[in-house]
Amino acid sequence: MIELIKELISFIMHIDVHLEEIIREFGNLSYFVLFAIVFVETGVVIFPFLPGDSLLFASGTLAAAMGAFDMWILIPVFLAAAILGDTMNYHIGHKVGTSIPPNSFLGRVVKKERMEAAEKFFNTHGGKTIVIARFMPFIRTFIPFVAGASKMKYSYFIMYNIVGAVLWVFSCTLLGYYFGNIPIIKDNFSMVLILIILISVIPAVIGVIKSKVSGK
């Protein structure tokens, strides 16, 4: 388990290197690999730790630097994966969200405190939570699940789902495309990815602090 965690951290921190390996190994099929990673990260509630923002940023960087990806294909692939992933997550939550046995495998992964944090965020910000959560690691995996479990109307959910996916994919991918190859960023790529992750979790940290203060 520890080795798996180390490998996952290495994959995220050196995702540009690993993406180059994927391209060499799979060629044009790399688009399917990228689709699968984003789809699972957004669509399967037990995999919130897979790379999201960093994957989009690094893919855009490689598209500009090496011509490794065609942006006219890359962006639609990410959009499809993000929208379909959240949709599946919503339906899973709608079906089993309120009836997960706490001692089951899913119950141990979808821990009560994680669900409560997502529910508080959801109740505070309403439908726009689905858009905001796109930019927040971990939270973005749980919010569609919570939306389904709370019986949000699907027509309402899908609207925010699409808007959030468009903003997330275009912003992260294009930032990588236009800025990822600037020398200072390219030479400190791992640090930049850490910074992206830290910025992404700031809203969640602020929410926790506000919750603690209001609780007192």
Q: Could you give the CA distance from residue 130 to residue 142 in angstroms, rounded to a whole number?
A: 10
User: What pLDDT is recorded for position 172?
Assistant: 92
Domain membership of residue 10 (yes or no) is no
Instruction: Quote the tokens at residue 57.
Output: 């940023």
Query: Which residue segment(s) compose the domain that 188 sits in?
Result: 73-211
3-state secondary structure of 27: helix
Task: Count CB neighbours of 105 within 10 A.
Answer: 10
49 burial type by CB count under 10 A (0-12 exposed, 13-18 middle, 19+ buried): middle
The pLDDT score that the predictor gives to residue 211 is 61
pLDDT value, residue 74? 95
**39 CB neighbour count, 10 Å cutoff:** 23
Please check whether residue 200 lies inside any domain of the structure: yes
User: Any residues with CB less than 8 A from the CB of 205 and at least 6 apart, and which?
Assistant: none
Looking at the domain assignment, is residue 17 inside a domain? no
Which H or E run contains 198?
helix 189-215
pLDDT for residue 93: 86
Measured from the Cβ of residue 13, the count of other Cβ atoms closer than 10 Å reads: 18
Would you say 19 and 62 are in contact if contact means Cβ atoms under 8 Å apart? yes
Domain assignment present for residue 130? The answer is yes
- Indicate whether 117 belongs to any domain: yes
CA 136 to chain centre: 7
Strands (E), 34-105: none
Residue 26 CA: distances (Å) to CA of 29, 32, 34, 171: 5, 9, 11, 26
pTM: 0.82
Domain membership of residue 138 (yes or no) is: yes
Q: How many CA atoms lie within 13 A of 206 on its CB side?
A: 8
Whether 49 contacts 165, CB under 8 Å: no
Domain count, the chain: 1
29, with CB counted inside 10 A (0-12, 13-18, 19+), is exposed
| 149-170 pLDDT, tens digit each | 877 889 989 999 999 999 999 9
Q: What confidence score (pLDDT) does residue 192 get? A: 81
% of the chain residues with pLDDT over 90: 28
**Residues in the chain, pLDDT under 50:** none
The C-alpha atoms of residue 86 and residue 94 are separated, in whole angstroms, by 12
Apex 191 CA angle, 189 and 195, nearest 5: 115
